Chain A
Amino acid sequence: MENALNELAHSLNTTITKEGNNFDAILTDSGTIEVMCSNNTEFPIQVVMTEKQILAVTHLFKTSEIQPNKLAELNTMLLELSPLVPLSSTGMQGDNYILFGAMAISTDIKEIVHELEVQAENTIDVLEAIEPLLN
């Protein structure tokens, strides 16, 4: 898997998208690729792989960053938003709210690039939508 991750990082680092964005992809100690797309250099995407899929995970915020009495409202909002966000879904791991996309392992690099670029944009959209509920 590490080879595949290395290859993907290299491909991303040498790609410029149709919209003129580029990527900064590095392997982390945790065994992920951390990808920064030039359209959003504040919220990195963690990319991991299994035998069957490529997962792209962006950390949005922690539970503690939300006004405590607004958590239920936030959860409903994220569930409602999720189908509206192109290619990405909202989810939760531990106390981290995340935006994530899943692709088949056979996905073409062009599609991966597009998916990551869109996810970087989606991150800003989703955060703007829930901003009033932040601490």
Chain B
Amino acid sequence: MNMSILKNLIQAVKGGFSEAGEAIVDSNLIRILEQDIRDDGDAINKAKRSLTNLKSTEINLKRKLDSLAQDISDYEAKTMELLDSGNEALAMETAERIAEIETDRNETKTEYDVLAKEVSDLNKLIKNRAKNLEKNKRELEKVKTVGELQKATASINKNFASTNSTGNSVKESLARVKEKQQKWKDRQQAGEWMEDESESSDLDKKLADAGLGNTSSSASSVMERLKASKKDS
């Protein structure tokens, strides 16, 4: 399951709706992906357990190698001293000992190298499996998204079937929703107007109280104005 499945999903989306809009997700694909995810998880766990065992053996061998190297250098120093003091026979015996230790060290080194390679291979395997696991999880999410979208589409199609039988169209729905919005805006404007009105009448009252209000015209003031205009003419 290494190929990307988005290409297949688009086919499922295009052809995946029955007449009634019932969801058809490829349940087989989900099963395969879920099985792959489980397999990868199991393989990773198993590899991690082996890795723990191998690693402890590797540490052990490394310690042995270090100790053998130390022994070799100790015996070498002693052999040099023996040669210096002319004790050829004991020097020879010590050199034989060094050769034995070196054989042991070479065998241990081979063992160590094999093990180190195994550890590195296991690490690689874990990395690859983990990559595959994440990829499959993402693919599964895509497949499940298709399934959920199909549920949404099924619900949409049911609604469409019931509203369409009443001759409802998107145009009419849009007109209705716009009308409602307009009414709402009108109500809001009316509210704002009321607020403005009460604010301005408050101001008029305050101005009148301060003697600055618009005094209403009276009959006498009209008479005076008319008389004045008569005089002018």
Residues of A whose CB lies within 8 Å of any CB of B are: 28-32, 34, 39-44, 46, 48-53, 55, 57, 59-62, 65, 93-94, 96, 98, 124, 127-128, 131, 134-135
Flag the segment in B46-54, B173-181, B200-208 that touches A.
Answer: B173-181
Interface residues of B in 118-150 (CB under 8 A from A): 141, 144-145, 148-150
Across the interface, do B174 and A57 meet the contact criterion of CB distance under 8 Å? no
Across the interface, do B141 and A52 meet the contact criterion of CB distance under 8 Å? yes
Task: Please tell me if B160 contacts chain A, counting CB pairs below 8 Å.
Answer: yes
Main secondary structure of the interface of A (DSSP, over half): strand
In the bound assembly, the distance between CA atoms of A103 and B178 in angstroms comes to 28
In the bound assembly, the distance between CA atoms of A98 and B181 in angstroms comes to 22
Across the interface, do B176 and A59 meet the contact criterion of CB distance under 8 Å? no
Across the interface, do B174 and A50 meet the contact criterion of CB distance under 8 Å? no
Residues of B whose CB lies within 8 Å of any CB of A are: 13-14, 16-17, 21, 23, 141, 144-145, 148-160, 169-171, 173-174, 176-178, 180-181
Across the interface, do B173 and A34 meet the contact criterion of CB distance under 8 Å? no
Across the interface, do A43 and B177 meet the contact criterion of CB distance under 8 Å? yes
**Which of A41, A55, A61, A128 is B148 in contact with, Cβ under 8 Å?**
A55
A135 CB, nearest partner CB in chain B, Å: 8
**Which of B153, B173, B178 is A96 in contact with, Cβ under 8 Å?**
B153
In the bound assembly, the distance between CA atoms of A19 and B182 in angstroms comes to 16
CB-CB under 8 A for A41 and B149, given A93-B13, A131-B171 = no
Across the interface, do B171 and A134 meet the contact criterion of CB distance under 8 Å? yes
In the bound assembly, the distance between CA atoms of A53 and B138 in angstroms comes to 12
Across the interface, do B155 and A65 meet the contact criterion of CB distance under 8 Å? no
Across the interface, do B159 and A48 meet the contact criterion of CB distance under 8 Å? no
- Chain B residues with CB under 8 Å of A135's CB are 169, 171
Shortest 7 CB-CB contacts between residues of A and residues of B: A48-B148, A46-B152, A30-B155, A42-B173, A30-B154, A59-B156, A57-B152
Across the interface, do A124 and B181 meet the contact criterion of CB distance under 8 Å? yes
Q: Which of B149, B157, B178 has the most A CB atoms < 10 Å from its CB?
A: B149
